[in-house]
Structure 1
Amino acid sequence: MQVGIDQIGLYTPNKYVDMVDLAHARNEDPNKYLIGIGQTQMSVADSTQDSVSMGINSARRYIDQIDKDKVGLLVLGTESSVDQSKSASLFVKTALQLKPEVRTFEVKEACFGLTAALMIARDYVRVHPEHTVIVIGSDIARYGVNTPGEVTQGAGSISMLIKTDPRILSLNDGHSAYSANINDFWRPNNSKTALVDGKYSTQVYLDFFTKPFNDYKKLKGWSTQDFGSLIYHLPFTKMGLKANRLSVEGQDETTSKRLEKSFAASKQLSKRIGNIYTAALYMSLLSLIENAQLEPNSLIGLFSYGSGAMAEFFSGNLVDGYEEVIDKSGDVRMLDRRKKLTIKEYENIFNKALMDPEDGVELVSDEENGNWYFAGTKNHVRQYKQK
């Protein structure tokens, strides 16, 4: 029985900052951001967008095309949770009008959250093949205005439908995992912005890629040459480029060029949206299948990483006809319709979003009609509305 990804939905807020503008405002050479970090734009979430609203909007990209009565489980991975107790997935489930019998909960391990949700979904469908599962990764990456990590911020969500006989990616058996209790990145309960040791985190990321990747190849009896593509969790695109360079080291020219070309395709969405934490790896997958010319049944290797730290390498095979399922033109329109912010506008929006709105004050969204947004709290209960 084949189990895997049948639908993918992307959402990012309707505002962005250009990295050249940000570099000039920070008295930096633009190439430090464009080449050194590998980013060109960064999506910005205002006070009306959070992990719940973005998660709803990503799932809405395909929700009307599926049989909602078959959904048996909804899992949301996030490190931008809106409540210390209540699952963000309950708000999402209500907005999507899923039946009461659906199991739902939230999972957390930094940027690994959506992979954890995916593996839970895969195993659930294997036991309940008549059911489908919706998994969502939804996050706002915040380090603060004029901080070293500012250029690696972003906001967005990826939602996927997991089922038997998938139409996009069939997941293979087996995985290689690696974890350790380290402090490369974290966000205390009393902080709206993350703390990170950038150089240390980069080295940990590369170490945690190398071991699971090599272990996975031994487990499966495969070599690097067997992979049509390798994709990565991308907190910023240069991070993945460093991992990809490790993967092609010592390989023949054909393999190296293939993996370099596929990586270039996989980073296109990240370059324009920025870091979306739990969903970043799956945005790489979507970018790959939207921008690369891939062979039928192509073997795709996926590297998932969550600081703190948890890493996993696994794989899947591309399903013939996947092009008919994805909505590349819709993704292009969503990115192109965003409003470019001045640096002053961005700073004001960013800093305002760090503050909780006053209870009882209704927030108004400038999003497109149909999109969901956070409308503030009433009697300290979060309110979500559709534009």
Structure 2
Amino acid sequence: MQIGIDQLAFYTPKTYLDLVDLAHARGEEPDKYRIGIGQSEQAVIPVTQDAVTLAANAAVRVVDDTNRDKIAMVLFGTESGIDNSKSAAIYLKRLLKLPDNIRAVEIKQACYGATAGVQFAHDYVRLHPDKQVLVIGADIARYGLKTPGEVTQGGGAVALTISAEPKLLNLDDATAFRSEDIMDFWRPLYRTEALVDGRFSENVYVDFFKAVWQDYQQQTKLTIGDFTAFAFHLPFTKMGLKGLRAILPEASEDQQKQLMTNFEASRQYNRQVGNLYTGSLYLSLRSLFDNADLKPRQRIGLFSYGSGAEGEFFSGTISDAFDVQASRRWFTDFFRSRQRLTMTQYERLFSQQLPDHDVLLDLSHDDARFVLTGIKHDQRQYLDRGE
């Protein structure tokens, strides 16, 4: 019996910033951003969207009347939680009208949270093959205006269903993981923006990737020659390229070309969206599926990394039922419909923060199905426009 990713959807608001505009405004050469870090655009998240609404807008594309009653768990990976106690998954469960007899929990370990959810879901479905698990990675990446990390901001959500006999990717049982207490990136409770030791974090990322890749090879006896492509956690796409280059010498010349071609396919969407934190790896996987020339039964390697730090390498083979046409059309339509912000609009939108008191928000500039309407009696108020 195969267990793996059956469906994989994405959502982010249509407002975005072109990084050429950001470079000019900050006195930088555009190629520093486009080539140096591998980004061209970034999503800008309005105050009417949070981790819950982002997740709901992604999840409605993978949850409907055909599988709603099959979902046994909601595992919500995020480092942008909205409450110190109540799980974002509970809010999502209600918005999606999921049954009451399910588990709904939030998982936190920086950008690694969604991968923990995928692995927990894999084990659960193996014991309960008639059930599915909804896994979410939803975040808003904020470093602040005119900061070194500004160019690696972004946000959005991925929603995956894990099931038996999946339509996208059959996950292999073998996995290699590593954790260490490292201060390369952190988000104190009293701050709305993250803190990061950028160069140190890049080095830890590559070191963790090499360590778990070697561990995986020792476990499985597989080599780089057994892989058609690799998908990486991409806080910015140049980071994944550094990881891939660390192992490329293990491949033949022809395979190196294939792996580089497929890496370019895997970072196409991330270049245009920016940093998703927990969702970054899975947007990269979606981009690989949609933009590379893949065939059933080819093996894909996946590297997940969460600062602080946790890393994991795992793999899967493409399902015989693999079909990407609908996803390709969705992304084509989405990118065509986006609204490019001016620097003034971007800075104003970025600076709008939810207050710590009751408020009613202006929804006129947010056309999403699920929106945050405000706060009432210290409770976030959500609206489903599809009802």
Q: TM-score range by the shorter chain?
A: over 0.9
SS at match of 1:203: helix
| Cα gap change, 1:324 to 1:66, in 2 (>3 Å) | farther
Report if the CA contact (8 A) 2:62-2:160 is conserved: no
Q: CA deviation at 1:250?
A: 4.1
Aligned partner of 2:382 in structure 1 is 384
Aligned partner of 1:356 in structure 2 is 355
Q: 1:165-184, aligned counterparts within 5 Å? A: 165-184=165-184
User: TM-score normalized by structure 2?
Assistant: 0.97
Distance 1:150 1:65 in 2: 41
Q: CA deviation at 1:336?
A: 2.2
| Cα gap change, 1:135 to 1:326, in 2 (>3 Å) | farther
Aligned partner of 1:252 in structure 2 is 252
| Cα gap change, 1:102 to 1:86, in 2 (>3 Å) | same
Aligned partner of 2:202 in structure 1 is 202
Aligned partner of 2:96 in structure 1 is 96
Q: 1:187-198, aligned counterparts within 5 Å? A: 187-198=187-198
Q: 1:264-275, aligned counterparts within 5 Å? A: 264-275=264-275
Aligned partner of 1:343 in structure 2 is 343
Aligned partner of 1:147 in structure 2 is 147
| Cα gap change, 1:218 to 1:125, in 2 (>3 Å) | same
- Across the two proteins, how many residue pairs are aligned to each other? 385
Q: Deviations over 1:236-275 (max 9, x none)?
A: 0000111111121242111101111110000000000000
Instruction: Look up the equivalent residue of 2:366 and give its one-letter code.
Output: E
Aligned partner of 1:263 in structure 2 is 263
Distance 1:162 1:58 in 2: 15
Aligned partner of 1:40 in structure 2 is 40
| Cα gap change, 1:357 to 1:365, in 2 (>3 Å) | farther
Aligned partner of 1:366 in structure 2 is 365
| Cα gap change, 1:130 to 1:250, in 2 (>3 Å) | closer
Distance 1:68 1:31 in 2: 46
Q: Which runs of 5+ in 1 are unaligned?
A: none
SS at match of 2:316: strand
User: TM-score normalized by structure 1?
Assistant: 0.97
Q: CA deviation at 1:368?
A: 2.7
Distance 1:349 1:43 in 2: 11
Instruction: Look up the equivalent residue of 1:139 and give its one-letter code.
Output: D
Aligned partner of 1:5 in structure 2 is 5
Report if the CA contact (8 A) 2:38-2:236 is conserved: yes
For the aligned residues, what is the CA RMSD? 1.3
Aligned partner of 1:160 in structure 2 is 160
| Cα gap change, 1:31 to 1:324, in 2 (>3 Å) | closer
SS at match of 1:193: coil
SS at match of 2:58: helix
Q: CA deviation at 1:137?
A: 0.3
| Cα gap change, 1:223 to 1:50, in 2 (>3 Å) | same
Q: Deviations over 1:209-254 (max 9, x none)?
A: 0010111011101111110111100000000111111121242111
Aligned partner of 1:110 in structure 2 is 110
Q: CA deviation at 1:337?
A: 1.3
Instruction: Look up the equivalent residue of 1:323 and give its one-letter code.
Output: D
Report if the CA contact (8 A) 1:7-1:326 is conserved: no
SS at match of 2:313: strand
Distance 2:228 2:214 in 1: 16
1:294 aligns with 2:294: yes
Instruction: Look up the equivalent residue of 1:26 and give its one-letter code.
Output: R
| Cα gap change, 1:326 to 1:170, in 2 (>3 Å) | farther
| Cα gap change, 1:359 to 1:313, in 2 (>3 Å) | same
Instruction: Look up the equivalent residue of 1:154 and give its one-letter code.
Output: G
Report if the CA contact (8 A) 1:142-1:154 is conserved: yes
Q: Percent identity?
A: 45
Instruction: Look up the equivalent residue of 2:80 and give its one-letter code.
Output: S
Q: 1:15-164, aligned counterparts within 5 Å? A: 15-64=15-64, 66-164=66-164
Q: Which runs of 5+ in 2 are unaligned?
A: none
Distance 1:384 1:325 in 2: 32
Report if the CA contact (8 A) 2:224-2:250 is conserved: no
Distance 1:326 1:124 in 2: 28
Q: Deviations over 1:82-120 (max 9, x none)?
A: 010000011111010000111110000000000001111
Distance 2:95 2:202 in 1: 38
Q: In terms of mean alpha carbon deviation, does 252-261 or 266-275 score higher?
A: 252-261
Q: 1:217-228, aligned counterparts within 5 Å? A: 217-228=217-228
Q: CA deviation at 1:144?
A: 0.3
Distance 1:372 1:365 in 2: 13
Q: CA deviation at 1:326?
A: 4.8
Report if the CA contact (8 A) 2:289-2:324 is conserved: no
Report if the CA contact (8 A) 1:75-1:105 is conserved: yes
Report if the CA contact (8 A) 2:228-2:259 is conserved: yes
Distance 2:92 2:336 in 1: 26
Q: In terms of mean alpha carbon deviation, does 282-291 or 125-134 score higher?
A: 125-134
SS at match of 1:74: strand
| Cα gap change, 1:222 to 1:326, in 2 (>3 Å) | farther
Report if the CA contact (8 A) 1:152-1:275 is conserved: yes
Report if the CA contact (8 A) 2:48-2:361 is conserved: no
Distance 1:52 1:206 in 2: 31
Q: Deviations over 1:343-371 (max 9, x none)?
A: 11101110113x426404244252336x1
